[in-house]
């Protein structure tokens, strides 16, 4: 019995140094392999999530533009007369240039009308009429116009709204507010330019007339192919996404 107890104790002493030396390299290989697989899974998941988020952001910006194009009255080459923008790029707004007056990208300039409520809810509402004091608020009064400008500056896609400095009476309070860059202090600024897309790389326009034929400028255009692009660094990899949508004026 004494001999059996000694043998049992010896059997419970664990691995010898020789056994550990033999097993350790295999264990290290297994652990390193599992870590490599785990890191790859995490990286792939981050990349896939980044692609999905980038796609959503670009599509959301495109949807915003399309909504305003649908309710616009015209594509413009420059901002309309009567509108003041103290923060326009050098030389003023021009559809062939971006927010820094560079020709790297286009600017989309729309002539639209002020509505009592947001027209993007798919309901046609009465515009805010402009007239002199005492004018009848009916369809004979002048419609209060606005300019909506989409442009890229510092790798960010912005939406700027220009409104008229109305001195006469308006039948309803204007919904649209003149927007300017953040931190602006001029008296005309009543809102901040809307940020639609960060890390934006592309805003390109191709215009078409009512027959669907391509034309060289916004003059007389009924629709436009609007190409938006953006890029981001995700897990050390550059992710890009571009989309082109044909957008038409419905008025």
Domain ranges of the chain: 48-248
The mean of the pLDDT values for the chain is 81
Least reliable range by pLDDT among 66-75, 119-128, 186-195? 119-128
Quote the pLDDT of residue 124. 53
Q: Across the beta sheet with 194-198, what order do the strands follow?
A: 74-76, 108-113, 145-153, 156-163, 194-198
User: In the predicted model, is pLDDT for residue 93 greater than 90?
Assistant: yes
Q: How confident is the model at residue 9 (pLDDT cuts 50, 70, 90)?
A: very low
Helix (H) or strand (E) holding 3: helix 2-11
User: In the predicted model, is pLDDT for residue 61 greater than 80?
Assistant: yes
Q: How confident is the model at residue 204 (pLDDT cuts 50, 70, 90)?
A: very high
Rounded mean pLDDT, 134-159: 78
How far is CA 54 from each of CA 26, 67, 156, 219, 239, rounded to the nearest angstrom?
Answer: 42, 20, 14, 33, 8
**The Cα angle at residue 128 between residues 60 and 69, in degrees rounded to 5:** 30
Tally the C-alpha atoms within 13 A of residue 215's C-alpha that lie toward its C-beta: 16
Tally the C-alpha atoms within 13 A of residue 58's C-alpha that lie toward its C-beta: 25
Quote the pLDDT of residue 24. 74
Rounded mean pLDDT, 15-31: 74
Q: Across the beta sheet with 142-143, what order do the strands follow?
A: 142-143, 129-131, 169-170
By residue count, the chain amounts to 251
User: In the predicted model, is pLDDT for residue 6 greater than 50?
Assistant: no
Burial per residue of 204-222, b for 16 or more beta-carbon CB atoms within 10 angstroms, e otherwise: bbbbbeeeeeeeeebeebb
Read off the pTM: 0.77
Least reliable range by pLDDT among 40-44, 100-104, 151-155, 175-179? 40-44
CB 179 within 8 A of CB 189: yes
Q: Give the pair of three-digit tokens for residue 229.
A: 């692009």
User: In the predicted model, is pLDDT for residue 249 greater than 90?
Assistant: yes
Q: Which residue has the tokens 């008025």?
A: 251
């Amino acid at each position: 019995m004494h001999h059996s107890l000694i043998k049992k104790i010896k059997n419970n002493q664990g691995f010898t140094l020789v056994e550990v030396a033999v097993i350790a390299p295999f264990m290290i290989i297994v652990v390193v392999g599992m870590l490599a697989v785990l890191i790859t899974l995490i990286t792939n998941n981050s990349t896939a999530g980044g692609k999905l988020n980038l796609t959503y952001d670009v599509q959301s910006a495109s949807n915003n533009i399309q909504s305003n194009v649908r309710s616009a009255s015209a594509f413009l080459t420059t901002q309309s007369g009567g509108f003041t923008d103290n923060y326009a790029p050098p030389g003023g707004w021009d559809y062939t240039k971006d927010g820094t007056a560079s020709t790297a990208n286009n600017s989309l300039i729309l002539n639209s009308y002020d509505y009592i409520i947001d027209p993007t809810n798919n309901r046609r509402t009465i515009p805010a009429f402009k007239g002199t004091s005492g004018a009848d608020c009916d369809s004979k009064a002048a419609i209060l116009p606005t300019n909506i400008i989409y442009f890229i500056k510092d790798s960010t896609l912005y939406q700027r709204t220009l409104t008229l400095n109305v001195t006469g009476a308006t039948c309803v309070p204007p919904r649209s507010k003149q927007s300017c860059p953040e931190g602006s202090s001029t008296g005309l600024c009543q809102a901040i330019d809307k940020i639609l897309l960060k890390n934006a790389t592309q805003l390109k326009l191709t215009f078409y007339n009512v027959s669907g034929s391509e034309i060289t400028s916004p003059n007389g255009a009924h629709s436009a192919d609007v190409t938006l692009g953006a890029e981001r660094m995700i897990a050390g990899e550059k992710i890009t996404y571009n989309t082109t949508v044909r957008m038409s004026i419905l008025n």
